[in-house]
Amino acid sequence: MAFLIVSLSVAVLISIVIALSLFVLTRKIARWFLSEYDSRLSNSLATEFYALILADTEMSADEIRRHCGALRRNRGFFKRKRTIRVGKSVLLKLVKEINGEELERARDLYRIMGCASLAVIELRDHRWWKRADAVSELGAMKVKESLDQVLELVSDKDETVRIKALEAGLEIGGPEILPVMIEALPEVTLWTIMNLAKILDPHLRESDSMILSLLNSKKKDLRKFAIIMLGLTKSVSSVPQLVNIASSGDKDEAAYALQALSFIEDPRAIPAALQALDTGTPEVKTKATLLLGQLGETDAVPSISPLLSDTDAAVRISAAHALARLGESGLSILMISALENGTPAQRASMQVLDELKIGVDERTADFQW
Amino acid sequence: MVIQLWEGLNEFYSFFVLVYFILINLTYLTLLITSLPSILNYIRKNAVFDYRSILKSELAPSISVLVPAYNEEKSIIQSIHALLKLYYSNLEVVVINDGSRDSTLQRMIEHFGLVKVHKEFEESLPAAAVRGIYRSTLLPFDKLIVVDKNNGGKSDALNCGVNIASSKLVCSVDADSILEPDALLRVVKPFIEDSTRVVASGGIVRIVDGCEVENGFVKSVHLSKKWLPTFQVNEYLRSFLTGRVGWSAINGLMVISGAFGLFDKKTLIKCGGFRTDSIGEDMELVTRIHRILREEKRDYRVVFVPDPVCWTEAPKDLKTLSRQRNRWHRGLIDTMKLHRKMLFNPRYGVIGMLAFPYYFIFEMIGPFVELTGIIFVLLSFYLHIVDVYFFILFLVVAVIYGIFLSIGAILLEEYTFHRYPDPKDITRLIAFAFIENLGYRQMTAWWRVKGGFDYLRGVVTWGAMNRSGFDSKSEKSPAAR
């Protein structure tokens, strides 16, 4: 019995191994010989076909539908089951290259082919990548009817889908719906923030007030995002609110606000920065000293110079960097500290003086978010 | 009487080996099966992930690449040039000259126009004394920092680099390895996606032998024509694409290769940095990170990313390979011994109940079981007490199962990343999956057993690694530690 079982196992394993080997090799060879040729042929034929339809502005919807039907039936053209997929991908490529009437026509064609309805159905697919593709498609094709379904995906469990939904929502609904979408986000990770910054880039003028309103959000992540965005966009109108945050109790947000203020370079931030030098955490102190250095606030030299002997190395270095930017009085303190023997202040001062000497702008490293 | 005793012992041992065999293979199979969806999911994510967003963003976390260098005068310049060309905007490269006896430092000073500077840093981790810190006066190399220190070994040099690094993340890289230009963008991705939980991530290490290398980068990928590196390609594929991906999926990854790993600097310092008295410092560090963070009940992740590639040279002669495997096994035993309280300890979750026992039972004890099995069989043949049919069938099952796992890993590679474009290379890999059972596996098992005995004897040396260098156009590279 044991012999039989083991023999059978051996036979099964040998078969699997042979089958796997053959599969790997066949796949490799097939890919090698055919894949490039096949995809190029399908894509070039489809591109030609759609270009023809798009160029003929007189062609009615019925005629287009008839052409698409013919395309689906024609096995010689390319495989039937791939028709919609290849056709859709070609259309999606085309909409990036065309504009005006041609673009509108391509979007109509997308609907006429039934792709929009299919994409809306796929928004509920259990596979995240299907949802992400579908929502991107609807955005690229500006399918207005699908806006509600697209907005639902902003709170999807998958981050990639959420980001794609944000992009699509903005494309379909415009910047006005951004506050609704951002508030609907279940969490705001660094990746989401980076993508939001990218998405908002072309709409910065319209979105300034919207970002400002996010400073009052109950979600800490969103407030943090808003502070960063206001800094990156150098929003002067946000200075009073950022100054408030810099002086507020939340140390984490205060550090971000000081960082944003150093990007905006508005002198109204000076009192808050000076206050932060005494009360802040090492991170807050670092950002406050850099802000004062950035603003060239020479009156702050007496407040910054004691920080050269701070217990935290990052604070000492940022103080030295700030002093280096505060004219003669700052530089002379640095040079005096550099003469001290073996003290932390001497090391920080020497580092910054060396950087000045060799022309390395190390200060940029301190401006990391 | 002796024969009866031997028969009893043989029966017990056969049963033990059978159970061991079933368990180990079930584990490997489970890892293979869990790897496939993880890799496919990763590839799908990659298809919609725009890495340029990281490259362009001011919000991307800063990275300090730490490169310990000891007697690397022939290859260090090219290595640094390649590292400075990596696609990442928020980057600094910290080269730590670990008391080299050759002209490694002098060559760097001359080539990059380095001058000695002061740099304030906190000695958060203990390390040998720093003799000097150098920066370049030339603008293209302003991201380069060279630290000259007394010799203290690789871990000591890395600790020194961590102290000096000014970035949020630190990346350990071997001076004799090649990173792909986008490797940092890919390995940092988990930190961006899950910035609050991810504390470490590692990329895949592949064998560079046979590939065409130009100016410090791999131009085209081929399999080596030599036997030993080809065997190792199969081993690496099994280890990285099935093993590490599978463990990473359940947050049970216990090793991030020392040749290429990215760590959160604060966590690294908090956990005590690299151990200078450990032979397998990379595995020990990751295990310690797990141990400390689990004890603190922190929600964290250690991630393996399967496509940022670090190319490394494989040992090409048996002597070097034996030294490498011996050292790896000593490092494994050392880690197991140091953190033995984690074994089957539910307090450490997946690590204590699955990953640690796996490494202990299968990776550490495995070679001993394999070799004693061979000895038992030979003795049983000598005493004529072996069931020949059963033995042959068992052997065939074991060998074919091994081949099945190897081919599974090759299939995974071919289905996902297909880095070897030439079908001949894949054919060779499959052929080597068969051949490796005829001596190579037994040989590596012997080296590992020997490593175990060396560990008991207190051997702590690294053993010289003879390397011939990557670049076909460059001169031969020096012997590393």
Q: What is the mean pLDDT of chain B?
A: 89
**Minimum distance, in Å, between the CA of residue B266 and any CA atom of chain A:** 13
Cβ pair B390:A17 closer than 8 A:
no
The verdict on residue A336 lying in a domain is yes
Residue B115 has pLDDT above 90, yes or no: yes
Instruction: Find chain B residues with C-beta within 8 A of A8's C-beta.
Output: none
Cβ pair A365:B47 closer than 8 A:
no
> Could you tell me the pLDDT band of residue B266, with boundaries at 50, 70 and 90?
very high
More confident residue, B2 or A179: A179
Give the domain-ending residue among A113, A134, A167: A113
pLDDT score of A77: 44
**Distance from the first to the final alpha carbon of chain A:** 69
Judged by a CB distance cut-off of 8 A, whether residue B9 touches chain A is: no
pLDDT score of B357: 96
pLDDT score of B473: 44
Mean pLDDT of B427-456: 92
Residue-range definition of the domain harbouring residue A266: 234-369
pLDDT score of B130: 95
Torsion, Cα A298 A303 A307 A309, to 10 degrees, reads 110
State the CB neighbour count (10 A cutoff) for residue B123.
12
The verdict on residue A2 lying in a domain is no
pLDDT tens digits, residue range B340-356? 999 999 999 999 999 99
Q: Which amino acid is at A129?
A: W
Residue of A nearest to B163 (CA): A313
Which residues are B172's β-sheet partners?
B66, B261
CA distance A365 to B167: 8
Burial class (CB in 10 A: 0-12, 13-18, 19+), B481: middle
Judged by a CB distance cut-off of 8 A, whether residue B121 touches chain A is: yes
Q: Picking from A257-271, B315-329, B376-390, which range would have the lowest pLDDT averaged per residue?
A: B376-390
Instruction: Find chain A residues with C-beta within 8 A of B413's C-beta.
Output: none
Closest CA to B427 of A37, A27, A12: A27
State the CB neighbour count (10 A cutoff) for residue B85.
12
Contact B342, B357 (CB under 8 A): no
Burial class (CB in 10 A: 0-12, 13-18, 19+), B127: buried
CA distance A328 to A156: 56
Instruction: Find chain B residues with C-beta within 8 A of A342's C-beta.
Output: none
Q: Which amino acid is at A202?
A: P
Question: Which of A129, A159, A361 minimises the CB distance to B193?
Answer: A159
Interface-testing mutation among A5, A8, A10, A153, with chain B (most B C-beta atoms within 10 A)? A10
Interface of B with A in 178-217 (CB under 8 A): 191-195
Cβ pair A20:B135 closer than 8 A:
no
Interface-testing mutation among B26, B28, B42, B48, with chain A (most A C-beta atoms within 10 A)? B48
**Minimum distance, in Å, between the CA of residue B190 and any CA atom of chain A:** 10
Question: Which of B136, B393, B418 minimises the CB distance to A10?
Answer: B393
pLDDT tens digits, residue range B6-60? 777 777 887 888 888 888 888 988 888 888 889 989 988 888 888 888 888 888 9
CA separation, residue A314 to residues A333, A354, B170 (Å): 18, 17, 17
Contact B237, B410 (CB under 8 A): yes
Cβ pair A354:B92 closer than 8 A:
no
Question: Which of B48, B115, B400 minimises the CB distance to A358?
Answer: B115
Cβ pair A189:B192 closer than 8 A:
yes
Instruction: Find chain B residues with C-beta within 8 A of A7's C-beta.
Output: 393
Mean pLDDT of B180-199: 93
Q: Which residues of chain A have a pLDDT value below 50?
A: 35-38, 74-81
Cβ pair B411:A228 closer than 8 A:
no
Residue B479 has pLDDT above 50, yes or no: no
Judged by a CB distance cut-off of 8 A, whether residue B167 touches chain A is: yes
| Cβ pairs bridging A and B (under 8 Å) | 136
Question: Which of B118, B121, B193 minimises the CB distance to A189?
Answer: B193
State the CB neighbour count (10 A cutoff) for residue B327.
22
Interface-testing mutation among A3, A341, A356, A368, with chain B (most B C-beta atoms within 10 A)? A368
Cβ pair A17:B166 closer than 8 A:
no
Judged by a CB distance cut-off of 8 A, whether residue B375 touches chain A is: no
Cβ pair A189:B396 closer than 8 A:
no
Closest CA to B368 of B451, B455, B449: B449
The verdict on residue A363 lying in a domain is yes
Cβ pair B411:A351 closer than 8 A:
no
Interface-testing mutation among A5, A12, A13, A341, with chain B (most B C-beta atoms within 10 A)? A13
CA distance B461 to B330: 10
Give the domain-ending residue among A51, A81, A113: A113
B264's enclosing H/E stretch is strand B260-264
Where are the alpha helices (H) located in B194-280, listed in sequence order? 227-237, 245-249, 265-270
**Minimum distance, in Å, between the CA of residue B91 and any CA atom of chain A:** 9
**Minimum distance, in Å, between the CA of residue B478 and any CA atom of chain A:** 32
> Could you tell me the pLDDT band of residue B139, with boundaries at 50, 70 and 90?
confident
Interface-testing mutation among A21, A232, A307, with chain B (most B C-beta atoms within 10 A)? A21
What radius of gyration do chain A's Cα atoms show?
A: 30
Give the domain-ending residue among A113, A130, A165: A113
Mean pLDDT of B167-192: 93
- Number of residues that make up chain B: 481
CA distance B82 to B98: 20
The verdict on residue A264 lying in a domain is yes
pLDDT score of A76: 45
CA distance B180 to B308: 7
Judged by a CB distance cut-off of 8 A, whether residue B390 touches chain A is: yes
pLDDT score of B226: 93
Residue B372 has pLDDT above 70, yes or no: yes
3-state class (DSSP) for residue B432:
helix
Closest CA to B306 of B468, B211, B183: B183
Let me know the angle formed at the C-alpha of B348 by B342 and B350, rounded to the nearest 5 degrees: 105
Mean pLDDT of B157-177: 93
- The string of DSSP letters for A8-76 reads HHHHHHHHHHHHHHHHHHHHHHHIIIIIHHHHHHHHHHHHHHHHHHHH-TT--HHHHHHHHHHHHH-TT
CA distance A40 to A71: 17
Residue B199 has pLDDT above 60, yes or no: yes
Cβ pair A129:B49 closer than 8 A:
no
B1-481: which CATH topology? Spore Coat Polysaccharide Biosynthesis Protein SpsA; Chain A (3.90.550)
More confident residue, B230 or B137: B230
Contact A242, A260 (CB under 8 A): yes
Mutual angle of helices A128-140 and B2-48, in 10-degree steps: 10
The verdict on residue A186 lying in a domain is no
The verdict on residue A154 lying in a domain is no
CA distance B198 to A151: 29
Judged by a CB distance cut-off of 8 A, whether residue B427 touches chain A is: yes
Cβ pair A3:B47 closer than 8 A:
no
The verdict on residue A136 lying in a domain is no
Which tokens belong to B342? Answer: 């984690």
Contact A166, A181 (CB under 8 A): yes
Cβ pair A13:B400 closer than 8 A:
yes
3-state class (DSSP) for residue B39:
helix
- Please give the tally of structural domains in chain A: 2
Interface of B with A in 395-414 (CB under 8 A): 396-397, 400-401, 403-404, 407-408, 410-411, 414
